[in-house]
Structure 1
């Protein structure tokens, strides 16, 4: 009997006997299928009552909005294999069909071995059967298969624009693309700042960046795109930026791509200068002093990018390289040493400087001086004392000193004369340089016979005075003074700058301290002083012929080194001490005065001049006086970069650079 005849018989039998309701159910296990090799089962189950015979099962899928039969199944009463229909051919080679094994209670099964996007749809099944009431069909409810797609690693490492020549302050846009799966995932960003060795210093996640996605044809997963914009900073040099997939709210550990270390240029900064050995002051003649300069910057400062200057003359470099060695450790090398560090990128050059003060003092030593002091022609005594030849220096001197050759005096005079040297020695230890000068002047007057140190009232002078006019006059003056008939006049001191205006650079200007003494006064030394940080400080010391020492700059005057010549007075009565400038610098614009140490019949003292001023001018008569104050950070920037700007850059280029950097406003630029 043919299959067709079997169906006819079943239908006729169903009509004669009668049909009762049949229960049908469809189920997808699991309901979610993952794209690719996945096991999923679509089962149509039915249960018949007594007298009902199932003849066939159809499983249908919703295609383009309509349910269509995709597979037909048969029970044992119809010995045919289950088959895919024309509308179900898309399942070929991906499914296995299993017929029911009984006609009463069983299932028709579609077993998936591979899931495709088109499998995501609604399904139901329809069972044909015959019973006492006839032949009919019963349908199940609807079951759904949801297809999910796993995301994949981003297509490539994130791209970024600009891709080269990135500077500190630039905005850089990073872009990442790739399969973010189904349901749609997204990208997250992470920035890792690293040190030069690649160790991570800081991790910064960016979770809120938008991911736009498009479902890919033939692949129901989504292709996502995300962007991140970062403003580059110094710490971003050598940083890496990572793009990572987040799927179903879980970051996918291995699904990421990241950039290589990003090169971020930034100008030189954090210039530091150190010295070795590390001591506050160096003694003249000590071993070499090594100065070391370090900095930060990208590109790093090269060996030739470091230049050294002394503050007193920034127009002449001392040398290049990260270290500078002071081999000639002498007092005149005392100064502020400036290191200028420079780097360049993208056609621009940047520099920054810092300085360190190197203090070199005279070596302080004490020596023993042995003298034989003759108080009278027939008696002598020996003693040992410490003698300073100049401040902070010493020498050894052995000699014979006579108080008053060929002159004898009373017992009182002899006693006081032998007391002079010990008294002076004790005072030297505790008095200042000026007081030392006064004591020296008294000692000189004493040796000349002009001053007699006494413990009591002066006696009527001296029948045996020798014939020298000076001594005769002095002794007469002393007698007159002792009798109250003579009054001591005061020395006159004057300070003058000629001319008073100095022009920056090579300029001749003279600072002169002039003095005029009255009879009986002898000048022993001159100190010139400058007002520094609101206080007058000694900058140079001069000596008269009575004290055979060269004029010299002292510590507070070292900024004048190699720019001035010092000229001692040539007499002790009427003359001048002179500072002759050969080059004028900004720091020379100060108030000056001088102090003259001298001795007279009334003792050792000093007299001061009035104040003289030196005004320093530039090459233009008009001084720039901005009406808008710069911010402190801009002032500091100008100060740090001044040396290099002035040395290498034309004025108009400097102004343009400061304007473009936001340091100068439009008004300031026009004013300049």
Structure 2
């Protein structure tokens, strides 16, 4: 006998008992046996040379209700039992026994009849806050709904970085299929596949199919906002569209750093050539960010849209615009900012100021006249001050020498001795004064002139 594997509800299932015999063997009958609920082989059908029609025995009636059994004489080397509507209780071991005259009965090897059941579409896929740690086990049917309660389901308030657990349940058929999870994010064409980390499985009472519940711990990120988590049944018997999608995820996350772009995209704009400049501020966040535009250090908001157009292009200036983006959730406010700088140039004015720009000077003609006038005043003042200082020092030295001469009774002789020296050095002394007057010689010079004058007056 050969093993059979058929889908639930199939008709025309055939149990075949084929045999060969020697020329001297005289087969007197064939019997089908199966295992009952007590794991004991019992007869279900029989055909012998002594009966006109094959007979379906009581346990066979229990299993099949009715069956078609070939006559023993119709096929001298094969005995076939045919029944319809394959159901779960048909799944068991079968053997056939061959009765030969003048010898002991011969038994075949056991044949296994397998009943296959296609899976159903998953019943639900939900997200729960409490991570679940469930081992792969076989549980009672009435325990399968006790894993999570409605209070654990995530309905709102998921934030970037939160940990959730995705739960998928349903009839996975027989042989038992498995669940796999696919996360379809809004910006990705291909979904990301995840295998369940824990699962529990149970046999459905009154049905040879299996019910599975699988769990996937999942850390949510900002990229998962508006994503859909799909639970898919994997089974060789699965048909088309054997999946179920979760509700769309709503993930709260703080506003991202914006970028500011301009159109036309260039650094300098020409008066009379460019008529408008459009600035666009791009960012992301949930809740949707609020936009505020400012010009330079001004406190007035010039726009609350994500873009605005500048049409005041009529004078040379350096422009600075700042875009602030803000969003608020769970009592916290998040703000980011980016700026854009560019130049507006009036070519006519630029041509007039070419010379100034070449000399790297920002002075106007009036500034230069004022600077030259100030320089002349400074020079004249410095010269006059120097002259006054020299005259003051000389005058002080003369007065000081007169006082010294009047109180010194021996000065006459010393003056006569010094007068020649003074005369001899007279030319070089004044020549030195003309070239580089040293303030430290003023006292000595005045003293010598005074001594010369007094000596001449005494000699006369």
TM-score (norm 1): 0.45
1:114 and 2:81 correspond: no
- Report Cα offsets for 1:432-455 as digits up to 9, x if no partner: 23596664237769xxxx98xxxx
| 8 Å contact kept, 2:90–2:115 | no
CA distance in 2, matches of 1:50, 1:85: 30
Residue of structure 2 equivalent to 1:68: 42
Contact 1:191 1:239 in 2 (8 A): yes
Q: 2:9 aligns with which of 36, 42, 57?
A: 36
For each residue in 1:287-339, what CA deviation from the matched residue of structure 2 results, as whole angstroms up to 9, or x when unmatched? 565433232223433xxx2222244244x433422334555568798563222
Q: Are residues 1:295 and 2:191 paired?
A: no
1:203 is matched with 191
Q: Cα–Cα, structure 1 residues 293 and 488, in superposed 2: closer, same or farther, change >3 Å?
A: farther
Name the CA shift for 1:94/1:207 in 2 (closer, same or farther; >3 Å).
farther
The equivalent residue for 1:433 is: 362
Following TM superposition, by how much is the alpha carbon of 1:100 offset from its aligned partner in structure 2, in angstroms? Answer: 0.6
In structure 2, what is the Cα distance between the partners aligned to 1:49 and 1:281? 109
Question: 1:443-490 CA deviation, whole Å, 9 max, x = no partner?
Answer: 769xxxx98xxxxxxxxxxxxxxxxxxxxxx9xx99xx8xxx982769
Question: Structure 1 residue 487 and structure 2 residue 416: aligned?
Answer: no
Indicate the SS of the match to 2:51.
Answer: coil
1:151 and 2:118 equivalent?
A: yes
Counterparts of 2:267 and 2:22 in 1: how far apart (Å)? 108
Partner of 2:305: 321
1:539-570 CA distance string (max 9 Å, x none)? xxxxxxxxxxxxxxxxxxxxxxxxxxxxxxxx
Q: Alignment partner for residue 312 of structure 1, among 297, 318, 332?
A: 297
Structure possessing the higher relative contact order (Cα contacts under 8 Å, 6 or more residues apart): 2
Instruction: Select which of 228, 231, 234 maps to 1:246.
Output: 234
Is the 2:97–2:108 Cα contact (8 Å) retained in structure 1?
no
Distance in 2 between residues matched to 1:429 and 1:59, nearest whole Å = 113
1:212 aligned onto 2:200? yes
- Partner Cα distance (2:368, 2:317) in 1: 31
What's 1:170 paired with? 162
Contact 1:172 1:230 in 2 (8 A): yes
Correspondent of 2:210 among 206, 222, 241? 222
2:51 aligned with 1:84, yes or no? no
Structure 1 residue aligned with 2:335: 351
Partner of 1:142: 109
SS at structure 2 position matched to 1:228:
strand
CA 69–277 in structure 1, closer or farther in 2 if over 3 Å, else same:
closer
Contact 2:291/2:306, CA 8 A, preserved across alignment: yes
The question of 1:273 aligning with 2:260 is answered: yes
Gaps of 5+ in 2: 129-153, 387-460
Comparing both structures, which one devotes a greater share of its residues to strand? 1
Name the larger-Rg structure.
2
Q: Note the residue ranges of structure 1 that are not aligned, 5 or more in a row.
A: 1-26, 368-387, 394-425, 452-473, 491-672
Q: What is the alpha-carbon distance in structure 2 between the residues aligned to residue 298 and residue 231 of structure 1?
A: 17
Residues 1:45 and 1:276: Cα distance change in structure 2 (over 3 Å): closer
Which residue is 2:433 aligned to? none
Question: Is the CA contact (8 Å cut-off) linking 1:239 and 1:262 kept in structure 2?
Answer: yes
Are 2:122 and 2:233, in contact at CA under 8 Å, matched by a contact in 1? no
3-state SS, counterpart of residue 197 of structure 2: coil
1:192 to 157, 161, 184: 184
Note the alpha carbon deviations across 1:84-119, whole angstroms, 9 max, x for none. 2222222334632222116x9444321133322222
Partner SS state of residue 229, structure 1: strand
**Cα distance, 1:149 vs. partner?**
1.6
Deviation at 1:137, TM superposition (A): 6.0
Q: TM-score under structure 2 normalisation?
A: 0.64
Given that 2:123 and 2:169 are in contact with CA atoms closer than 8 Å, whether structure 1 keeps it comes out as yes
Report the Cα distance in structure 1 between the residues aligned to 2:245 and 2:382, rounded to whole angstroms.
100
Quickly say closer, same or farther: Cα 1:442–1:266, change in 2 above 3 A.
closer
* Separation in structure 2 between the aligned mates of residue 242 and residue 94 of structure 1, nearest angstrom: 45
Q: Distance in 2 between matches of 1:160 and 1:427?
A: 71
RMSD: 4.2
| Separation of aligned partners in 2, 1:181 and 1:119 | 17
The offset of 1:190, in angstroms, is 2.1
- Rounded to whole Å, the distance in 1 between the matches of 2:219 and 2:198 is 18
CA separation in 1, counterparts of 2:323 and 2:248?
31
Deviation digits for residues 152-202 of structure 1 (CA, Å, limit 9, x no counterpart): 13333522232334332222322222232333332222222233xxxx434
Kept in 1, the 8 Å contact 2:63–2:89? The answer is no
1:125 to 82, 85, 96: 96
